[in-house]
Homo-oligomer: A and B are copies of this chain.
Amino acid sequence: MSGTHSDVPSVLAHELPRPVPLDELAACPVGEVFRRVGDKWSMLLMILLGHRPYRFNELHRAVEGISQRMLTRTLRGLENDGLVRREVFPTVPPGVEYSLTPLGRSLLEPLSALADWAVRHGSALGRAPEPR
C-alpha cells in the first residue's frame, strides 16, 4: 500500500487508468467487508445488536425467519470477525448474551451512510431483476 493520501476519500478515488491486475481490485477492502457481512443475515443482526445486547433465542424471535442453524453460524462468523462479542452466563438454564464490539459498532456508522442512501434512492432500485 503506497501512502498516497489524496484528500478524496479512500480507495475509490484511486486513478485506475489501465487494466487492473486484480492485485488492486481483488484486494479491494470494500469487497472483503461485503464478503463478511454481505450475507443474508449479518448486518440485520448487527443492526439489532446495535441497539442492545440480545440473547440467543431473543435474536431468534426478533428476526423470525432465520433458522437456528444460520443464526448460530452467522453469529459465529461475526464473532470470529471481531464484530460481535459472545458472553456466556453459567446460570440455570444457561444464558448467552451477544453484543457488538467497538469494532462492530464502528462498522455500523459507514453502514448507516449506506442506509441513508438506500432510504433516499432505494425506491429507484425497487424493480426486481427479471428471473432467468
Contact = CB atoms under 8 A, between A and B. Distances in A.
A25 B47 contact: yes
Nearest to A30: B115
Chain A interface, >50% SS class: helix
Contacts of A25: 44, 47-48, 62-63
Contact of A65 (B26, B50, B118): B26
A13 to B, nearest CB: 7
A109 B43 CA distance: 19
A123 to B, nearest CB: 9
Interface residues of A, number: 67
A93 interface: no
A109 B9 contact: yes
Of listed A15, A30, A44, residue having the most chain B CB within 10 A: A30
A50 B12 contact: yes
Contacts of A81: 124-125, 127, 129
